[in-house]
Chain A
Amino acid sequence: EPEVTQTPSHQVTQMGQEVILRCVPISNHLYFYWYRQILGQKVEFLVSFYNNEISEKSEIFDDQFSVERPDGSNFTLKIRSTKLEDSAMYFCASKGAGLSGIQYFGPGTRLLVL
Chain B
Amino acid sequence: SQQGEEDPQALSIQEGENATMNCSYKTSINNLQWYRQNSGRGLVHLILIRSNEREKHSGRLRVTLDTSKKSSSLLITASRAADTASYFCATESGGSNYKLTFGKGTLLTVNP
Contacts and interface: CB of A to CB of B under 8 A. Distances in A.
Given A95-B98, A101-B48, A103-B98, A42 B43 contact: no
Contacts of A44: 102
A91 interface: yes
A105 B45 contact: yes
A: interface residue count bin: 20 to 34
B99 A42 contact: no
B98 A102 contact: no
Given A91-B43, A105-B35, A105-B43, A43 B95 contact: no
Contact of A103 (B33, B40, B41, B103): B33
Contacts of B102: 35, 42-44
A100 B31 contact: yes
A99 B30 contact: yes
A102 B104 contact: no
B48 A33 contact: no
Interface string B86-112: 001010100111111111110000000
Interface residues of B, number: 26
Interface stretch (A48-56, A65-73, A74-82): A48-56
Interface of A is mostly: strand
Contacts of B59: none
B33 A102 contact: yes
B92 to A, nearest CB: 5
A33 B98 CA distance: 10
B45 A103 contact: yes
Given A100-B30, A103-B33, A103-B98, A108 B42 contact: yes
B50 interface: yes
Interface of A: 31, 33, 35, 41-45, 48, 50, 55-56, 89, 91, 93, 95, 99-108, 110
Interface of B: 30-31, 33, 35, 40-45, 48, 50, 88, 90, 92, 95-105
15 contacts: A31-B98, A33-B100, A42-B102, A42-B103, A42-B104, A43-B43, A48-B97, A48-B98, A55-B97, A93-B100, A100-B98, A102-B33, A103-B100, A105-B45, A108-B42
